[in-house]
Structure 1
Amino acid sequence: MRIMALVGTRPEAIKMAPVTDALIARGLTPALIVTGQHPDLDPAAYGLTGEPVHRLQCQGMPDPRAHAGLVAETVAPLLATNCDLLLVHGDTSSALGGAMAAFDLGVPLGHVEAGLRSFDRANPWPEEDNRVTIDAYASLLFAPTDTSAANLVREGLSGEIHVTGNTAIDALQRVVGPLPQRSDRRPDKPKLLVTCHRRENWGTKLTPIALALLDIARSGLAQVEVVLHPNPAMADAVRLFLAEEPGVTLLPPLPHGEMIAAMRRATVILSDSGGVQEEAPALGVPLLVLRERTERPEGIASGNMRLAGTVREEIVGEVTRLLTDAVAYAAMSSPTLPYGDGHAGPRIAAAIEDWLERHLQAEERLIA
């Protein structure tokens, strides 16, 4: 039985690597499809292995729907001749394109990180639509938490649902060791680590976020470190606001290990990233989410996250509260594992092997 794993972005590669490793350990080496959405993506740099590696030339586009269509068209010939199960991860346009092609060709689909829901098509857009569509196409739905599995059950989907944990925690554990663990925050001036890249925070939404960071830096409350996104338009917009501010340090895009190290040094994190929402609770670093709602509510329930939104005054208020109220800070800085225990990859691989065996047996019965 031939398995293929499709990725297009750095986060997809990081989170798919524990799955491919676990499959290889079971003698089920998958082929890799690298779509080119992030054109400089080297899967080996993120520990993602498979054989062979098929590289497409589907670079990211301003219109994510058009990009998904391009991926679907380009990947279809591979799936038609070489694939009994396609694995995709998350909610990118690459994942959607792969899912669309698999559905059209009747190729079974496995969705890693299934069932996440914000219940708002505009936040995040197009990711919310993407994951709903991918889940509807999938034969195997690997839900990271009971909450995400319940979302899938509520929707009455036909695919098999497996609660596995999130592979982001497997990847984090590879970097820092056994989880959970406390960060290595230093006792000097507080550090506010910031990432901001989601499409819904582009354009005018960035202005109040940037002004809030200026307020915090100029107040002397914390040293602000902003990790720039590889998207040059987003990075340039951040530089326009913050490049000349002495209380702000702009960092280049960081590899996964260096990003985790920066998170562990931070006193508080301010971010709109899904991956950071998964990692911060396990590291015990309080996280304020630059969004109005989240598809990862487990971190809020554990007490490690709060929604800060995108209003200037509310962001400043939330950061100030955390950095001046020792009780509030302590309540958010105890490490927890709301997204899994670091063994999602092996659980997913075991479910895939079982499914393949049942699938093969069913085909043999039909032939007989």
Structure 2
Amino acid sequence: MKIGLIFGTRPEAIKMAPVYHQLKKNNITVKVILTGQHKEMLQQVLNLFQIESDYNLEIMKENQELSELTGRLIIELDKIIKKEKLDYILVQGDTTSAFVGALVAFYNKIPVGHIEAGLRTGDIYSPFPEEINRRLIGTIADIHFAPTEINVKNLKKEGISGNRIIKCGNTVIDSLKWIIKNKRELLKNIREKYNINNKKYILLTMHRRENWGKPMIEVLNAIKDYINKKEDLYVVFPMHLNPRVREIINKTLKNCKNKILLEPLEYLEFIAIMEKAYYIMTDSGGIQEEAPTLGKPTLVLRDTTERPEAIEAGTAKLVGTCYKNILKYMELLEGKLYQDMLKVGNPYGDGKTSERIRAYLQKIESEGKI
């Protein structure tokens, strides 16, 4: 059995890493095809998790439009898939790399497994373009590895039969638990490096396209006004590389006294900072899954989320980007709400998701379905 793993961003690599090692450990032939949708950030994760790639398309270039990225990926992935004669292809999540990987697999009549299947917001433009990517992958995929029961129900509503859906948790929990167990001393050293070991701080991340401009300005103004009233509370903000995002950050937070602005962090560095944060404010999807494992209350800076499990469980609050709402929830986290959110467990998995994915692939191979 020869399995192709197609991915190209840092979050995809983090979530594919435990699957890669499970397959390799069980003597399954793996071909890692990197699209290069992320560059520097991707390599950091490959090094951390010791993933060896077979191909790297290095597809990204400055100011590339989505349509151009999609077209180039179709052409380049098709060449590799035809050459390798893969038995099965796995894609993860909702990136353009994942969507095009599934599409080209379909063109070549190779079955597709979708890791992290069934996430939905109900709005095809939020997040953009991720929501439509995952819906399109869902139409193509032969098997859907769904993290939670909500994801299973979403897929069934779209007409996908239950025997093509496996509820198995999220692979990001596998990766996070491995790091917490194996990199304890390094995590402590990283916090010392950034001089935050003894500081009380909020971890902030914000990068989504739909939040560029006014939404980001509103959020940052609220955080600035709140932090400036506190003597001992800091905001730690790893800044996205995009120049438009950085311009807004530097201008809006210019007079924020307790700000710690950082360059983009390696994954291990980010986990180190997340582990000791007071709480988290983010528009990221993956952080909503990781935060409950670390027991971190999270304010989600979006109007919709494809990860409602944390909202329903109570470990996260969907707060949008309105100035008044941001201030309201930051003030609420000074009281009982904070303690209530701390008590909630992780609805996203037990750290054994990659084992379940590997076991399924071996099962269908033994049944002659691969």
- For normalisation by structure 1, the TM-score amounts to 0.90
Deviation at 1:203, TM superposition (A): 2.2
Could you tell me which residue of structure 2 aligns to residue 90 of structure 1? 93
Task: Show the 5 A alignment for 1:74-113.
Answer: 74-82=76-84, 83-113=86-116
AA matched with 1:269:
I
Aligned to 1:63: 65
Matched with 1:169 is 173
8 Å CA contact retained: 1:17, 1:46: no
> Does 2:267 match 1:263?
no
Secondary structure in 2 matching 1:141: strand
Displacement after TM superposition at 1:187 (Å): 11
- 5+ long unaligned stretches in structure 1: 364-368
Task: Report the residue type matching 1:125 in the other structure.
Answer: F
Which amino acid letter does the alignment assign opposite residue 355 of structure 2? P
Partner of 1:350: 359
Whole-Å Cα distance in 1 between the matches of residues 30 and 140 of structure 2? Answer: 20
What does the per-residue CA deviation read over 1:119-159, in whole Å, with 9 as the maximum and x for residues that have no partner?
11121111000000011101121101111011111111268
Report the counterpart of residue 192 of structure 1 in structure 2: 202
Could you tell me how far apart the structure 2 residues matched to 1:305 and 1:329 are?
10
Counterpart position of 1:6: 6
What 5-or-longer segments of structure 2 have no aligned partner?
Answer: none
Counterpart among 276, 281, 288 of residue 277 in structure 1? 288
Native 8 Å contact 1:13 1:48 kept in 2: no
Give the match for residue 205 of structure 1.
215
- Once the two structures are superposed, residues 171-215 of structure 1 have per-residue CA deviations (whole angstroms, 9 ceiling, x without a partner) of 11011139xxxx999997641110001111112221111111211
Identity %: 38
Q: Is the 8 A contact 1:67 1:97 kept in 2?
A: no
AA at the equivalent of 1:70: R
Give the conservation status (yes or no) of the 8 Å contact 2:313–2:344. Answer: no
Change in 2 beyond 3 A, CA 1:136/1:46:
farther
Kindly indicate whether the alpha-carbon contact (under 8 Å) linking 2:19 and 2:355 is maintained by their aligned counterparts in 1: yes
Whole-Å Cα distance in 2 between the matches of residues 217 and 154 of structure 1? 44
Give the whole-Å Cα distance in 2 for the aligned partners of 1:290 and 1:62. Answer: 26
Q: How many equivalent residue pairs?
A: 354
Q: CA distance change for structure 1 residues 3 and 17 in 2, over 3 Å: closer, same or farther? A: same
C-alpha contact (below 8 Å) 2:314/2:344 kept by paired residues:
no
Q: Distance in 2 between matches of 1:45 and 1:145?
A: 29
Deviations 1:281-301 (A, max 9, x none): 111111000001111111112
Tell me how far 1:89 sits from its aligned partner: 0.6
Is the 8 Å Cα contact of residues 217 and 248 (structure 2) preserved in structure 1?
A: no
Partner SS, residue 340 of structure 1: coil
Write out per-residue CA displacement over residues 29-67 of structure 1, whole angstroms, 9 at most, x where no aligned residue: 3110110111223253241525x6111031165432431
Question: Aligned partner of 2:298: which letter?
Answer: L
Contact 2:14 2:175 in 1 (8 A): yes
SS at 1:165 equivalent: coil
Partner of 1:366: none
Aligned ranges 1:223-262 → 2 under 5 Å: 223-262=234-273
Instruction: Tell me, yes or no, if the aligned pair for 2:201 and 2:235 is still in contact at 8 Å.
Output: yes
Report the equivalent of 2:345. Answer: 336
The 2-side partners of 1:59 and 1:48 are apart by 23
Structure 1: how far apart are the matches of 2:206 and 2:254?
15
C-alpha separation in 1, matches of 2:75 and 2:176:
34
**1:34 maps to 2:43:** no
SS at match of 2:348: coil
Structure 2 Cα separation of the partners of residues 90 and 187 of structure 1 = 33
Range that drifts further, 101-110 or 339-348:
101-110
Contact 1:20 1:48 in 2 (8 A): no
Q: Which residue of 1 aligns with 2:230?
A: 220
Is the 1:208–1:311 contact (alpha carbons within 8 Å) kept by the matching residues of 2?
Answer: yes
CA contact (8 A) 2:295 2:342 kept: yes
- Give the AA of the match of 2:236: E
Normalising to structure 2: TM-score of the pair?
A: 0.90
User: Which residue identity does 2:349 align to in structure 1?
Assistant: G
8 Å Cα contact 1:20/1:29 also seen in 2: no
Match of 2:307 among 296, 300, 311: 296
The separation in 2 between residues aligned to 1:46 and 1:294, in whole angstroms, is 29
Structure 2 equivalent of residue 53 of structure 1: 54
Query: Is 213-222 or 338-347 further displaced after alignment?
Result: 213-222
Q: Is the 8 A contact 1:243 1:250 kept in 2?
A: no
Amino acid at match of 1:132: R
